[in-house]
Chain A
Amino acid sequence: DTGVSQDPRHKITKRGQNVTFRCDPISEHNRLYWYRQTLGQGPEFLTYFQNEAQLEKSRLLSDRFSAERPKGSFSTLEIQRTEQGDSAMYLCASSSGEIGGGEKLFFGSGTQLSVL
């Protein structure tokens, strides 16, 4: 168990640029989640995958955000035409699914995005 890894750890970009983040989940986990966290707040759900299928996307997520999980392994989150309001910590989590309602999420350390 090597844990969930995210890359990069930090990203600084200028407004209007596109950015892409990568998440490598724990290998046997079939579920993968993306969350966004701002200072002083808890993680906010963005989207999640069951294997390669994107099953749910938050209504808060604008069309500038897109996520993929080809072959049900790693995932990428792309933000197009970044805005200053996109500055946040982007968290990835994986799990092996729901067991009696007590699904356990394993989180990565996150990618801190700063949009100047």
Chain B
Amino acid sequence: GDSVTQMEGPVTLSEEAFLTINCTYTATGYPSLFWYVQYPGEGLQLLLKATKADDKGSNKGFEATYRKETTSFHLEKGSVQVSDSAVYFCALRNYGQNFVFGPGTRLSVLP
């Protein structure tokens, strides 16, 4: 079945550092790819998405590019802030099927 693998956390960075969280997937067909974020005490919320190969999703300074050749959707941000501290989930969805989430990567940003 479909699956998502993420880099293990926790990831600890200093403010203004560059962030990469790796995500790779295994799926049949052409799934849509997503990053969801869960801030402390809150529910998961959509951060960005890409629905076809080579699409780039972006939001709040975060970016991820749908790479079909490497089955990857790595999350990047050029300069993280303390307020970015959260758990980040990579997810995929094939048309007509359900979302499959990765295990999540916890990010802590220190001032």
A→B interface (CB under 8 Å): 4, 33, 40-45, 48, 56, 91, 93, 98, 100-110
Residue from A42, A56, A91, A100 within 8 A of B98 (CB atoms): A56
How many Å from the CB of B28 to the closest CB on chain A?
14
User: Is B77 an interface position by the 8 A CB rule?
Assistant: no
B: contact size bracket: 20 to 34
How many Å from the CB of A4 to the closest CB on chain B?
7
Residue from A43, A100, A102, A107 within 8 A of B45 (CB atoms): A107
In the complex, the answer to whether B104 meets A101 with C-beta atoms within 8 Å is no
Residue from A41, A45, A103, A109 within 8 A of B42 (CB atoms): A109
Residue from A42, A91, A103, A104 within 8 A of B104 (CB atoms): A42
Q: Please indicate the chain A residues that have their CB under 8 angstroms from the CB of B101 in the complex.
A: 42-44
Q: Please indicate the chain A residues that have their CB under 8 angstroms from the CB of B102 in the complex.
A: 42
Query: Nearest A residue to B43 by beta-carbon distance?
Result: A107
CB under 8 Å from chain A, chain B span 8-43 = 32, 36, 41-43
In the complex, the answer to whether A42 meets B91 with C-beta atoms within 8 Å is yes
In the complex, the answer to whether B45 meets A45 with C-beta atoms within 8 Å is no
User: Is B82 an interface position by the 8 A CB rule?
Assistant: no
Task: Please judge, given known A-B contacts A45-B98, A48-B98, whether A101 and B43 are in contact too, CB under 8 Å.
Answer: no
How many Å from the CB of B6 to the closest CB on chain A?
8
Query: Nearest A residue to B31 by beta-carbon distance?
Result: A101
Query: Nearest B residue to A41 by beta-carbon distance?
Result: B103
In the complex, the answer to whether A41 meets B104 with C-beta atoms within 8 Å is yes
Q: Please indicate the chain B residues that have their CB under 8 angstroms from the CB of A101 in the complex.
A: 32, 51-52, 93, 95
Nearest 4 CB-CB pairs, A to B? A42-B101, A107-B43, A107-B44, A101-B32
User: Is B110 an interface position by the 8 A CB rule?
Assistant: no
In the complex, the answer to whether A105 meets B51 with C-beta atoms within 8 Å is no
How many Å from the CB of B43 to the closest CB on chain A?
4
Residue from A45, A56, A91 within 8 A of B44 (CB atoms): A91
How many Å from the CB of A106 to the closest CB on chain B?
8
Residue from B32, B44, B98, B100 within 8 A of A102 (CB atoms): B32
Given contacts A42-B101, A108-B43, 19 further A-B contacts (CB under 8 A): A33-B98, A40-B104, A42-B4, A42-B102, A42-B104, A44-B101, A91-B43, A91-B44, A98-B95, A101-B32, A101-B51, A101-B52, A104-B46, A104-B49, A105-B36, A105-B44, A106-B45, A107-B45, A110-B43
